[in-house]
A and B are shown apart, each in its own frame.
Chain A
Amino acid sequence: MHDKSIPFEAAIKWIKKETRDTATYALKVKSRDIQKGYRFIPGQFNMLYVPGIGEAPVSISSAPSDQDLMHTVRVAGDVTTALSHLKAGDVIGMRGPFGRGWPFEETGGLDILIVAGGLGIAPLRSVVRHILRTKKMAGAHSRRMLFYGAKTPKDIIFRNEFPRYREVFEVLLTVDRADPEERWRGETGLVTKLFDRAALDSLRTIAFVCGPEVMMQTSVRELILRGVPEERIFLSLERNMNCGVGLCGHCFFGPKFVCRDGPVFRFSEIEGLMGIKEL
């Protein structure tokens, strides 16, 4: 097996600008052998490496059945800035996939509720596309919902894909504030506001949540208030993932290695840790 501490080459196939600070990179693993053995599940992440700059953990935003392996990146630090200077055809390093993904096997027969905030839509887009693209997924859930909150309408990532999502999902959008110059028909306010609009059948609901930590905390609290069982709420946490394989310690969340035990956690597993500040 490939040594997971050594990056392999991945060529940038195309780059698509999503919003003013976010872009999607389609990557093609150069080595055939590695590409053949490369399998991931939605919710897993890769370490993207720009030699001379460093590595950044980025979740995979495409579905396993998609032709292209995609990563959606917001310009935030050195590595993501360096990525933003690259163009199609350039080669970067990649290690992965790492971590535990979303538990599809537990969603059968239930209402699947996807709650995303900001860039948190990226690992959940992998779920949405997986459901859209996989025939046997059709009819697997009694109901499908996607709630998404962004800062402003212009910050909504994958906006052009939402019409397709609406064919299979009930999609509700909200923004922190609407630009006056743009007509905005969605909600304004926190993503939790959308829970009231949807009339959840809480005992039949399984929720996948990803976004800023505060947004996830409020979402979980609201879901529990509505009676969604803690065992059926899943979150994807962000930490300082560095090695990806539980050997470097940077992503500790209490006793959990977020890179290895997560990034997707069942809420009941981490409930005791969630409320502790600066853990």
Chain B
Amino acid sequence: MLKQKLKKEHLGLLFDKLKVTHGVLGPKVENGVVTLAEIDAHDIPSGYEDHQQPGGYRLIKGERPEIFSFSIGPDSFKRFLQPPLREVFAFRRAAGISITRPGAEQRPLAFIDMRPCDLSALKLYDRIFLRGPVRDPYYDSLRRDSLVFVLNCLYPNDNCFCPSMGTGPEATDGFDVALTELSDSFLLEAGTAKGETVLAGLPAGEVDDSDMREKGARIELCRKRIKKFIRAGELPGLIYRNVEHPRWAEIAERDLECGNCTQLCPTCFCNSTYDALGLSGISKKSYQVSGRRMRKWDSCFSKNFARVHGGNFRPSRRARYRQWMSHKLAYTMEQFGLPGCVGCGRCITWCPAGIDITKELEALKSAR
């Protein structure tokens, strides 16, 4: 596959090229955090450093010379490929029911700066929404036209543990183009024919062995900077053997059930559908009604998530936390053959109670 270098000052050319056909999504500072938005090259918050800890995130102007000097923020591709709220169809019931599906989607998306952990989550999403017994047509159309530029990581944050999950800091497949920031340029490696087409029109610098060595060294340095670790080799058994561990009740006492972790987790996919009615949607003849059927992100932390009429299958907070963590670390592997946790650490950073999934798993390991 095609490999070439791009001078750092030419990064804007890549954006210009992509913008003709795609909405280009990349990192941008908003409200003091790095989020994803449609951006230009000059929006990239170069030189910023993020300091993350359990329940904490600080963004400061630092000394790092790289353009991509920061790690991941709360956002991921998921907000764009599977939006938090979308219309499934509009309906109108009179004598019969008429259903109108929403029109064609917006223009295709290009993800600049998708990190290897999120790329693993994207692979899981593909299995869930494209290769299951039923294909999600909305996701399918957006995903098929999207371009994925994965950025190999140089600076992890203190909550990252991708090496434990085998998802980073380097991406090996599943991308259209992989970027690695070197000292004087970007190394661009195409992973698909689509990716090669994008690279073809850019001013190309030749790649030699020293560039590949520099790439390797930089990623190795990143790997060494990673502080957290999880016993992935002992999964899923460690979860299955400990369903009645007293730790679950203990976590429930700290857990606020805000659902932040499920909203930020790039693999969480649970959702609910409901009918949205405006006041004008209800006619005097009560049988006539019109509205929109909406699908929204849901969370297994919500009390009614497993409710049926006449009872709730998970009435306790202990059971709801256990459901979430078990789904991440055990069930997803069984369901889709890929880990449900990609080691991004977002659930640790954005938990207002600072609950740390790596520590909780360690606690399950300890004697009861």
**Residues of A in contact with B (beta carbons under 8 Å apart):** 3-7, 9, 30, 51-55, 76-77, 80, 90-93, 238-240, 242-243, 245-250, 252, 254-255, 257, 260, 272, 276-279
When C-beta atoms are compared, the residue in chain A nearest to B319 turns out to be A278
Apart from A5-B136, A249-B298, A276-B243: 11 A-B pairs, beta carbons within 8 A: A9-B96, A51-B92, A51-B289, A52-B282, A54-B275, A93-B97, A93-B99, A246-B134, A247-B136, A278-B315, A279-B313
Contact check, A6 vs B310: say whether CB atoms are below 8 A apart.
no
Q: How far is the CB of B202 from chain A (nearest CB, A)?
A: 38
- Does B271 count as interface, using CB distance less than 8 angstroms? yes
7 closest Cβ contacts across the A-B interface? A249-B270, A278-B319, A76-B309, A255-B331, A52-B289, A245-B134, A77-B309
Q: What are the residues of chain B within 8 A of A257 when measuring CB–CB?
A: 335
Q: A52–B128 Cα gap in the complex (Å)?
A: 29
Q: What are the residues of chain A within 8 A of B316 when measuring CB–CB?
A: 278
18 contacts between A and B (CB under 8 A): A6-B101, A51-B92, A51-B93, A52-B281, A52-B291, A53-B275, A240-B307, A240-B308, A247-B132, A248-B272, A249-B269, A250-B298, A255-B331, A255-B335, A260-B133, A276-B243, A278-B315, A279-B319
Contact check, A80 vs B309: say whether CB atoms are below 8 A apart.
yes
Q: What are the residues of chain B within 8 A of A3 when measuring CB–CB?
A: 137
- Does B1 count as interface, using CB distance less than 8 angstroms? no
Q: What are the residues of chain A within 8 A of B269 when measuring CB–CB?
A: 247, 249
Which B residues, 217 to 242, have Cβ-Cβ distances below 8 Å to chain A?
240
Q: What are the residues of chain A within 8 A of B282 when measuring CB–CB?
A: 52
Q: How far is the CB of B284 from chain A (nearest CB, A)?
A: 14
When C-beta atoms are compared, the residue in chain B nearest to A86 turns out to be B287
Given contacts A240-B307, A245-B133, A250-B305, contact A51 B313 (CB under 8 A): no
Q: What are the residues of chain B within 8 A of A9 when measuring CB–CB?
A: 96-97
Contact check, A240 vs B330: say whether CB atoms are below 8 A apart.
no
Which B residues, 331 to 365, have Cβ-Cβ distances below 8 Å to chain A?
331, 334-335
Q: Interface size of B by Cβ–Cβ distance < 8 Å?
A: 55
Q: What are the residues of chain B within 8 A of A243 when measuring CB–CB?
A: 271, 273
Chain A at the B interface: mostly helix, strand, loop or mixed?
A: loop
**B115-135 near A? 1/0 per residue, CB < 8 Å:** 000000000000011001110
Given contacts A91-B95, A245-B133, A255-B331, contact A250 B101 (CB under 8 A): no
Contact check, A5 vs B270: say whether CB atoms are below 8 A apart.
no
**B286-329 near A? 1/0 per residue, CB < 8 Å:** 01010100000010100001111110011110110011001100
Given contacts A52-B289, A255-B334, contact A250 B275 (CB under 8 A): no
Contact check, A242 vs B273: say whether CB atoms are below 8 A apart.
yes
Contact check, B270 vs A250: say whether CB atoms are below 8 A apart.
yes
Contact check, A254 vs B97: say whether CB atoms are below 8 A apart.
no
Q: A278–B326 Cα gap in the complex (Å)?
A: 13
Q: A7–B90 Cα gap in the complex (Å)?
A: 12
Chain B at the A interface: mostly helix, strand, loop or mixed?
A: mixed
Q: A261–B310 Cα gap in the complex (Å)?
A: 23
When C-beta atoms are compared, the residue in chain A nearest to B101 turns out to be A6
Q: A90–B286 Cα gap in the complex (Å)?
A: 13
Which of B240, B310, B313, B315 gathers the greatest number of chain A CB atoms within 10 Å? B313
Given contacts A51-B93, A242-B272, contact A249 B133 (CB under 8 A): no
- Does B57 count as interface, using CB distance less than 8 angstroms? no
Q: A260–B306 Cα gap in the complex (Å)?
A: 16
Q: How far is the CB of A126 from chain B (nearest CB, A)?
A: 20
Q: A112–B258 Cα gap in the complex (Å)?
A: 49
When C-beta atoms are compared, the residue in chain B nearest to A278 turns out to be B319
Q: A55–B293 Cα gap in the complex (Å)?
A: 11
Contact check, A247 vs B309: say whether CB atoms are below 8 A apart.
no
When C-beta atoms are compared, the residue in chain A nearest to B96 turns out to be A91
Q: How far is the CB of A73 from chain B (nearest CB, A)?
A: 11
Q: A254–B327 Cα gap in the complex (Å)?
A: 8
- Does B80 count as interface, using CB distance less than 8 angstroms? no
Q: How far is the CB of B128 from chain A (nearest CB, A)?
A: 7
Q: What are the residues of chain B within 8 A of A277 when measuring CB–CB?
A: 319
Q: Per a CB cutoff under 8 Å, which of B275, B310, B322, B331 touches A51?
A: B275
Contact check, A249 vs B275: say whether CB atoms are below 8 A apart.
no
When C-beta atoms are compared, the residue in chain B nearest to A47 turns out to be B273
Q: Per a CB cutoff under 8 Å, which of A4, A80, A240 touches B134?
A: A4
**B125-165 near A? 1/0 per residue, CB < 8 Å:** 00011001110110000000000000000000000000000
Given contacts A91-B96, A245-B134, A248-B298, contact A254 B319 (CB under 8 A): no
Q: What are the residues of chain A within 8 A of B96 when measuring CB–CB?
A: 9, 30, 91
Given contacts A52-B281, A55-B273, A255-B331, contact A247 B129 (CB under 8 A): yes
Q: What are the residues of chain B within 8 A of A239 when measuring CB–CB?
A: 306, 308, 313
Q: A4–B136 Cα gap in the complex (Å)?
A: 9
Q: What are the residues of chain B within 8 A of A55 when measuring CB–CB?
A: 273
Q: A149–B89 Cα gap in the complex (Å)?
A: 42
